[in-house]
A and B are shown apart, each in its own frame.
Chain A
Amino acid sequence: MTLLRAEGLTKHFGGVAAVEQLSFGVEPGEILGLIGPNGSGKTTALNMLSGFLAPDAGRMWLDGAPMERLSPMQLARRGLLRMFQMTRVFARVCALDNLLTAGLARGLAEDEAARRAHELLAELTLEPVAYLDAAQLSGGQRKLLEFGMCFIEPPRVALLDEPFAAVHPVMRETMAKFIRRRNAQGHTFLLVSHDMPIVVELCHRAACMNAGRLIAIGPTRDVLRDTAVIEAYLGSGSHG
């Protein structure tokens, strides 16, 4: 069964259609890339899928259950977790405490949360900064920490919002490795990204939006060769 499904999602702001009749699905175990030039509606779509924005029309399902009315908290309880473009961590407690809090929030017992937190710190190479306040971590370290907070309890599906934006190459590699490793364990990802090489490298399938509509969906290479997609990028003048 399709893990995350959207049908006819529509959102208007003022007179502008930010998202129009968006329908697609994320299959279990895949990494789906959501691409499109600036202003194509990717972030709006993501906000609707993660409970931050109510759609004007359309329906969404998580594991077959309707989810249009669920709040971000309720979605998180059901395993839909989201990472933000502007990294969100708890700045005034240390990195380890961030992970502990995230674990407790997902319902883990304290010792289990602590055990997994330490494992994640090691995996994400964050051990040297484990006890520093999150405010003192570098931007890339904070992103990795946010990954850890999402994965301290395996999510059903992880929605990533431009995770590679403004991240330096070494950090990108660590993050890509993390995604690949988790995906090999069966985790599902929806990845919104501008970074074409990463999309090619990581995503099995891709969905391309333009002006609020879905214009292509399918295996990544096919989508990137699709003429409509190429025109969308060239036409808007953006350099994906």
Chain B
Amino acid sequence: MTLALDLFVNGLIFGLFYALMAVGLAMIFGVLKIVNFAHGEFYMVGAYVYVLVSMKLGVSPWIALPLAALAGAGLGWLVERTLMRPLYAGYGSWSIMKDEYAVVVTFGLSLLLINLVDKIVGPYPYRGPALIETSRFSVGPVMLNGQKLIAAGLSVALLVGLALFIKRSLWGRQIQAVAQNRLGASLAGIDATRTTSLIFAISGLLAALSGALLAPLINPSPDVGAFPAIKSYVIVVLGGMGSIWGAMIASLLLGVLESFFAVYVSYDYRDAFGLLILIAVLIFRPQGLVGERGREV
């Protein structure tokens, strides 16, 4: 019984981390209808900035954390500014190459970032400094790792903050409007381009933060982004492409399911399990848990 509870709690915690990773991707899909294949690399950059700044500059990890977040936001904004404009330049234009362009460019960006970091910093994993030193303590019947707990707590705070931001703030509502109908939103006076920049910046920020938070748990190496990327894809599809709520629910669900699968079925195949879910969802219920069906003619 305690094993199951332990698995459940750990699954939830990982689910929270996944949520932080995946929510940004869901936002980008919601607005541009593309999958950012370089998403994992925002995570990686965040992890590296956190580790390098605190190690090389001797700065406290608590300061390195927001710096990593800023780096992610900046990178996201830069990517949107330089590479994403062709995706929506001109309404009613023959967006013939849209999907192809997005796949190729973000894939290329992913390769570029991985290899740049590999070259500049080196291919070997770093050890990320923990935010607090206490390693283990118990919460009720369950044993938890200090870093995990803080990371989980911060994740919850950020996710709640994001949800409130989207629902309540002016910018948040603009994001919702642009996600639903780009042309309509801009006719209503919303600067769709600036909103898109904002979304990319937020996406980068969240991914980078999750990279930084998890750096002590998953040591960063140049290809560390592959893991959160694949999780994010599964989650975004499972939750319903573009739905932030769906992504959050799907993250928790995936975290728990994986946790049980790894112990009761197979540890080696636990990552493949998520991919199977992705395929199954796309075939049988492509709108995901929360999303809506649509067919254009």
Contact = CB atoms under 8 A, between A and B. Distances in A.
Interface residues of A, number: 6
A230 interface: no
A220 B284 CA distance: 46
Contacts of A61: none
A84 B297 contact: yes
Contacts of B295: 52
A52 B297 CA distance: 8
B296 to A, nearest CB: 9
Interface residues on B, range: under 10
Contacts of B132: none
Taking chain B's interface residues, is the majority helix, strand, or loop, or is none over half, making it mixed? Answer: loop
A17 B96 CA distance: 34
A92 B94 CA distance: 10
Interface string A86-109: 000001100000000000000000
Interface string B142-173: 00000000000000000000000000000000
B94 A135 contact: yes
A47 B297 CA distance: 8
Taking chain A's interface residues, is the majority helix, strand, or loop, or is none over half, making it mixed? Answer: loop
Contacts of A92: 96
B287 to A, nearest CB: 14
Interface string A124-168: 000000000001000000000000000000000000000000000
A47 B296 CA distance: 11
Interface in B171-213: none
Given A84-B297, A91-B94, 7 more contacts: A47-B297, A52-B295, A52-B297, A91-B96, A92-B96, A135-B94, A135-B96
Interface of B: 94, 96, 295, 297
9 contacts: A47-B297, A52-B295, A52-B297, A84-B297, A91-B94, A91-B96, A92-B96, A135-B94, A135-B96
